[in-house]
Amino acid sequence: MIVLMISLMQYALTYELDVNTFSNYLDVQNRHLHLEWLLNMDKKYINATSTYKFQVIGRSINKITLDIYKLNIYSTYLYNGLSLQHTIDNPYADSDQGQRLNIQLDKTYYKGQYIELSIKYSIDSRSRSISFMTKEQTSTKTMPYLFSQCEDANCRALAPLQDTPSVKQTYTATVIFKDTEAADVFMSADESKEEFQVLYRPQDQAGFTWKYKYFIQKVPIPSYLIAIVAGNIKKVPTSTGGRTFLVSEPDKIQAYTDELREMEKFMQAIEQYIGPYTWGTYTLVIQPPSFPIGGMENPLLTFANPTIMTGTGSGLDVTIHEMAHSWFGNTITCVNWANMWINEGFTVFLERKASLFHYNIPDDIKLNAIIGNTSMYQDMLGFGLDSNFSSLHPDTTGLNPDDSFSKIPYEKGYQFLTYLESIVGEVDFQQMLRAYLVQYKYQSIDQQEFQNFLLRYLYEQGVDDYSTKRYKILENWNKWVYSPGLPPVILDFSTVKLTEAYDYTQSYITADGKQPTKWQDYINFLHSQKQVFLEDLFKQAQNNLLKLNVIEQIDKDLKLTEEKDFELKFRWFRAILTAGDKTRLTQISDFLGSVGRGKMVYPVYRALNLLDHDFAVQTFKTHEAFYHPIAKNNIKNILGLKEISIQ
C-alpha cells in the first residue's frame, strides 16, 4: 500500500522549474545537436551553424524559444531550407542572463512530433563562454589558443540552446581550423570515425590549410557540458590502463605526465566505491594559467587549472573531484541551479570516499571537511547568514545563477550526505547510491526526488529500523535544504592534527619574532594541515595578533613567499596583507599576474584592496589583459570598479 502511494506520488509530482532559462523547454526539448564551427582564432570569432532535433513534449507548439548571449544570429531555417522568422528580445534586461531567441515555426506541431531546424550565427570576442587568447598569452607562444567554460549558464554564449541542466541531448560536431592556428582541437566528446557532411568548406590559401575534426557524444548531456579547446596542444596517455590521457601545450607535458602517473588509480578508487566508469576514456586538459576555476568536469575532457600541478601531487584532489562528477553531475544532473548540491555535494562526498581509499589518511579527510566548512562559513557571512543564498536551495529568479555560486552546495551538501549516511549506515548508503545511479541514469532531478528515492529504497530493501530511520531522515530534511546559515546538525570533524596546526601557529605568536623550537614540524605536516595553519594565521591577522616580526620569522623558516604551491601561497599572502605587511607587494603583484584561478586571486585582491586600494587597482590594471572575462568581472566587483549587481 505504502509503496503504491509513494510511486503514485512520484508520478503526480513534477520536478522544480528552471527559472534561469528563457527557453520553452517544458513544451519542446532538443534531442540532438550538431555544431559546425569554423574557427578564426587569430581574429577571435567562430562562424557557426547549429542544427537541432526538437521533440514536442507539450500538447502543441508554434514557436521555439532559445537562450543566447551576445551571439550574432543570421538566419533560422527548417531541414528542407524553408526559412523561419526570428526575433530577439531581452527579458530581465539588467540581469546579465542574455537574450531570448524566438523562432516562429511554419505551422503548429503536436506532441511527439520532431522539428529539425538550423541556425546560422557567429561567436565573437564578447563571448562569455569562449576565451580567445593570443599566442603571447600561451606558454609556447606559437599559436593562439581558445577554450570554453559553460557552467553554469554560459553555454548560451556558445550556441543558441535550451540552456538548462534539465534538458539532455546527444551532440556531434565538425570543427574546421587552420593548421597554423591550432595543432589540435578537442571537445567533450569522442572523435568520430565517420566524417559528417560539411555545409561550408573554405578555400585553402597561401600559408595555411584548413583541417577538419569530427566529434560525437553519444550520451545525452546537459548543454553546460559542451566544451572545446584548441591551440598548440597535444594528447598523451598517462599511467597504464589505456583510459587516462593528458592534453596540454607540449613544453610542460612531460612534467605533468609524471605527476599524473596515478590517474588510473584514482579512477579505480572511485570505482571501488561507486561502480564502473561508463564513459570510456578520461582526458585531463591542463589549461593556461588564466583558466578561471580549479577544474571543470566536461565529459571525456576535464579542464583544469595548472595550479593543480604543484610537483608534489598535492593539488590532485581536483582531478579526483572532476572524475567523480562522471557519476554525480554528468550521469545524474541537477534539474536547475537551485539544486546544485545534487551535483557538487554528491561529488565532494564521492571524492572524499575515493581519497580515503586511495591515500588512507582519515585525518586528511576530516581536515579537508574543516577547511571546506571554513570557506563555506565565509561565503555565508558574505551573503548574510539569513540570506537564502546561504541555504542549499538558493533562489536565482531574475539573476545570473553565477551570482549564487559558493562553497555551500559543496560543503553543506557534503555534510548533509554524511549526516544521512550516519542515519542509514555506511553499507546501505553506498548500495543506495549505486541504485540511485541506475534509477536516474542520464536524467536530471531535484532534491525532493532524491528524498523520495532514498525512502523508497530503504523501504524496499527492508532495512532494520526502517521507521526510525525514516523519521530521522525527515526530521531535519527541510532545515538542511531550505534554512539559511549553518546546518541544523553540526558534525564533528575534529582531529588531533587540527590542534597540532593551531598549536604551531601559537608557537610562532608566542616566540614573538624568534624561532620556535618546533619550527620544523611544518615539514612533516599533511598538506591540509599546512592549509589550516595558514588559515589560522589569517584569523590571527584579522584579530591584529599577527605581528610583522613574526611574519619575518615564519618566512625565514618556511620560505612561503617563494612557495611554488599556490594553494599555500595564496593563503600566506592573504594572511600577511591582512596583518598590514607592505614589504612583499612586488611578489604579490607578480603572483596576481601569474594565476587567474578565482579561488586564489579573489581572496588576495580582497586583502590587498583593504590594505592599499590604489595599489590593488594598479595591480589589476597591469594584469587585466591576462584574466579570463569571468575573473576580470569578479575582480572589478571586489575593487569597486563597477556596480555590484544587486541581490
Near ligand BES by CB under 6 A: residue from 52, 121, 405, 436: 405
Residue 325 assigned ligand-binding role: yes
Q: Which residue lies nearer to Zn ion by CB, 152 or 536?
A: 152
401 in a labelled binding site: no
Catalytic residue among 410, 414, 504, 627: 410
Q: Is 136 tagged catalytic?
A: no
Cell numbers at 401, concatenated: 545563477
CB 134 within 8 A of CB 144: yes
Residue (of 352, 368, 260) closest to 306 by Cα position: 260
User: Scanning residues 338 to 357, which ones bind ligand BES (CB under 6 A)?
Assistant: 344
- According to the binding rule CB under 6 A, does residue 599 interact with ligand BES? yes
d(CA 49, CA 192): 18
44, 177 Cβ separation under 8 angstroms: no
Residue 325 beta carbon to Zn ion: minimum distance, rounded to whole angstroms: 6
217 labelled binding-site residue: no
Nearest to 520 by CA among 504, 538, 496: 504
Bridge-based pairing of strands 168-178 and 145-148 is unpaired
Q: Is 500 annotated as a binding residue?
A: no
Distance CA 370, CA 495 (A): 10
Does residue number 536 form part of the binding site for ligand BES (CB under 6 A)?
no
The grid coordinates of residue 304 equal 583544469
What residue 295 binds from ligand BES, Zn ion, none (CB within 5 to 8 A, per partner kind)?
A: ligand BES
CA atoms within 13 A on the CB side of 589: 17
150 annotated as a binding-site residue: yes
Give catalytic status of residue 322 as yes or no: yes
Q: How many residues bind ligand BES (CB under 6 A)?
A: 15
155 is in an annotated binding site: no
Helices 408-424, 447-461: axis angle to 10 degrees equals 10
In the complex, which residue's CB is closest to ligand BES?
Answer: 294
Annotated ligand binding at 294? The verdict is: yes
Return the number of the residue (118 or 347) whose C-beta is nearest Zn ion. 347
Query: Whose Cβ is closer to ligand BES: residue 325's or residue 571's?
Result: 325
| Cα–Cα distance measured from residue 153 to residue 35, given in angstroms and rounded to the nearest whole number | 19
Kindly state the smallest distance separating residue 354's Cβ from ligand BES, in Å: 12
296 binds ligand BES (CB under 6 A): yes
Of residues 422, 584, 591, 438, the one with CA closest to residue 490: 422
Burial class of residue 471 in the structure, from the number of CB atoms within 10 Å of its CB (0-12 exposed, 13-18 middle, 19+ buried): exposed
Altogether, the residues listed in the chain come to a count of 647
Cα–Cα distance for residue pair 424/465, rounded to 1 Å: 10
Is 599 flagged in the annotation as binding? yes
Shortest spacing between CB 107 and ligand BES, in angstroms: 39
Report in angstroms how near the CB of residue 566 gets to ligand BES at its nearest.
12
Closest CA to 473 of 459, 461, 493: 459
- Write down the least CB distance from residue 523 to Zn ion, Å: 31
- Contact partner at residue 405 from Zn ion, ligand BES, none, CB < 5 to 8 Å by partner kind: ligand BES
Name the burial class of residue 5, with classes exposed (0-12), middle (13-18) and buried (19+) by CB atoms within 10 angstroms of its CB: exposed
Select from 27, 152, 163, 264 the one that contacts ligand BES (CB under 6 A).
Answer: 152
Nearer Cβ to ligand BES, position 321 or 584? 321
265 binds, among Zn ion, ligand BES, none (CB under 5 to 8 A by kind): none
- Least CB distance from residue 351 to Zn ion, whole Å? 8
Nearer to ligand BES, 44 or 628 (CB): 628
Residue 296 annotated as binding?
yes
> Which residues, in sequence order, are bridge partners of residue 104?
63
User: Is residue 412 at the binding interface for ligand BES, with CB under 6 A as the rule?
Assistant: no
Q: In sequence order, which residues have a C-beta less than 8 Å from that of residue 41 and are 6 or more positions away?
A: 132, 143, 144, 145, 146, 177, 178, 181, 182, 230, 231
The candidate with the shortest Cα–Cα distance to 22, out of 157, 120, 163, 123, is 163
Tally helices (H) and strands (E) across the chain: 19, 22
Candidates 18, 36, 181, 297; binder of ligand BES (CB under 6 A) is 297
Binding mask 73-112 for ligand BES (x = CB under 6 A): ----------------------------------------
- Per-residue x/- track, 326-355, Zn ion (CB under 5 A): ------------------x--x--------
**Amino acid in position 20:** N
d(CA 374, CA 575): 15
Judged by CB under 6 A, the chain residues 306 through 345 that form the site for ligand BES are 317-318, 321-322, 325, 344
Give DSSP secondary structure letters for 436-451: HHHHHTTEEE-HHHHH
**Selected binder of ligand BES within 144, 165, 288, 294 (CB under 6 A):** 294
Minimum distance, C-beta of residue 293 to ligand BES, in the bound complex (Å)? 3
Give, in degrees to the nearest 5, the angle at Cα 630 between 102 and 585.
165
With b for 16 or more beta-carbon neighbours within 10 A and e for fewer, the 474-483 pattern comes to: eebbeebbeb
Q: Of 251-290, which residues contact ligand BES (CB under 6 A)?
A: none
Active-site position among 36, 322, 563, 567: 322
Q: Known binder of ligand: residue 293?
A: yes
Give 151 or 264: the residue with its C-beta nearer to ligand BES. Answer: 151
- Residue 497 contacts ligand BES per CB under 6 A: no
CB 178 within 8 A of CB 210: yes
Verify binding: residue 293, ligand BES, rule CB under 6 A.
Answer: yes
Q: Give Rg (Cα) of the chain.
A: 25
* Residue 310 interface partner, choices Zn ion, ligand BES, none, CB cut-off 5-8 Å depending on type: none
Binding site for Zn ion (CB under 5 A): 344, 347
Binding site for ligand BES (CB under 6 A): 151-152, 293-297, 317-318, 321-322, 325, 344, 405, 599
Binding site listing for Zn(2+): 321, 325, 344
Q: Which residues are part of the catalytic machinery? A: 322, 410
Binding site listing: 149-151, 292-297, 321, 325, 344, 597-599
